[in-house]
Structure 1
Amino acid sequence: MTDHHHQSTRGEPRVALVTCTDLADLDPDDRLVLGPLADRGVAAEPAVWDDPGVDWAGYDLVVLRSPWDYALRRDEFVAWAATVPTLVNPADVVRWNTDKRYLGELSAAGAPVVPTSWVTPGQSWQLPADRGEYVIKPAVSAGSQDTGRYDLADPGHRELAAAHVRRLSAAGRVTMVQPYLDAVDTAGETALLFLAGPGGLAFSHAIRKGPMLDGPDLGVEGLYKAEEISPRAATPEQLAVAGRVLAAVPGGRERLLYARVDLIPGADGTPLLVELELTEPSLFIGYADGAPDRLAEAIVDRLRATRG
């Protein structure tokens, strides 16, 4: 194993793009970086994170991309990440970012975050007193799995919301409850994509995600839901909020190969953080000119750093 790794560092560098069994050939968006990497003399290939036959030490860099089936095996995934040499983003970031209770830490650090409450397994939970709309989802999830939208003015929705929390609690999962922000239905969600560059993590591009949640979660499983994506220009206010969020990342933003900051306007229009994606976010490089090359350059720069 060690000899194989040393051979790779003397010749063409090898990069693993980490994925899951359902996307063994990578998500189509991720495949867009293969050509730019090949043009730069880098051999990149998909590798399934829980495949026991993969020699992770045989790669010069291991890049997390689409291991989207980890949510129900988060402890196993985090333990695996800790064993992988040259993993990006790093294993301690993976541990922190795969449990959405990090939102509480970011809020405490002064980042504007969508108000969130938490329900731990076995904890009694009372439905919010107001009759607005709420989102309920597990603290460990990928995509929109096990996520539902509830109108608490509807008695049926109130029953389904309580059942959703009970279902997650019975499975030993922490539940997060957030008010549904109406701007999702009009402005949509803005994802700001950052990629590592010579001067550190830098803004690359932004996209708009349309509304995805149309009602309660009824327990139907699926890897991910279809998304309505389009390019978007980031505003100075959004970029400023993203900067505040990234400044609060444990260990510093300079260690990150990529980051995705998902924002939705609050009631007064201020951008609020919905999620900070540092583990396996879609990077939407197909929606911005030059983005596949920027990602390839980020990987090449990191390879140079790891190879000395």
Structure 2
Amino acid sequence: MALPTSVKLFEMAPRDGLQNEPGDPVPTATKIELIERLANAGIGHIEAASFVSPKWVPQMGDAAEVMRGLTREPSVVYSALTPNLKGLENALAVGVEEVAVFGAASEAFSQKNINCSIAESLARFEPVLKRAQEAGVRVRGYVSCVLGCPYEGDIVPSQVANVAKALYDMGCYEISLGDTIGVGTPLAAKRMIEATRQYVPIEHLAAHFHDTYGMALANLYAVLEEGVSVIDAATAGLGGCPYAKGASGNVATEDVLYLLAGLGIDTGINLQAIIDTGYWITGELGRKPSSKVALAKGRVSS
């Protein structure tokens, strides 16, 4: 299949990138500046916060303050993770225009992560979807462990397809397929997409690949060939999975942009501005970017 002519990049650094950050919570002002820098660089879709219990995810405890403090660009969608009805109501109260729910393709991961079966987790989302639809808010669905699970090992593509179909049928406008622990390889990624697109149209599928084994870009190229045109990435490669030893986090936005530019695929995003933002936020966190492109090109400004 021909490569897509354009790709929507969905920026994950403010939420997925920071949610497992060790130590003290990242200051609210820093999160707001990160989101605004990303928007100014041309990113049109940013997951800005997560409305979850601060007891479980302390780094996301200021979600409402972050959303209230943003200077919002009219052309940018600022979304938030809302795994339950309470989270959704809190998000609606501060004007969130798009939310997301997450399920797993692995029964063991679902039990360990959210203490319920896949079927039970999907049932919990029904009132969230219903309320979001009443409020005129779009819902995105995430499926984790699509290419491997820390407890079950390899995941059968049909399991991924079944969960993705359930979320799509429930009303999620887009399904993001996550290689949560970054163990996937290109052929496995292709097979997973081939199975899932039987139930969810390819234009409603997104790839969310972590780079634990250095395979994320190869896997992304493989699914681009299958027609996927939405990619989740995190500036500076921020993020990590607490369930995978040595997990290096999301694929870096900088590296994805470099790949797409080399393929002649348009994103409308300023690569150098993203590189500079990556150096800035990792400086705030006390380390360097994990993006290969950022390290090769270097920063131009602060």
In the superposition, the TM-score normalised over structure 1's length comes to: 0.28
Higher strand share: 1
Higher helix share: 2
Query: Which structure is larger by alpha-carbon Rg, 1 or 2?
Result: 1
In the superposition, the TM-score normalised over structure 2's length comes to: 0.28
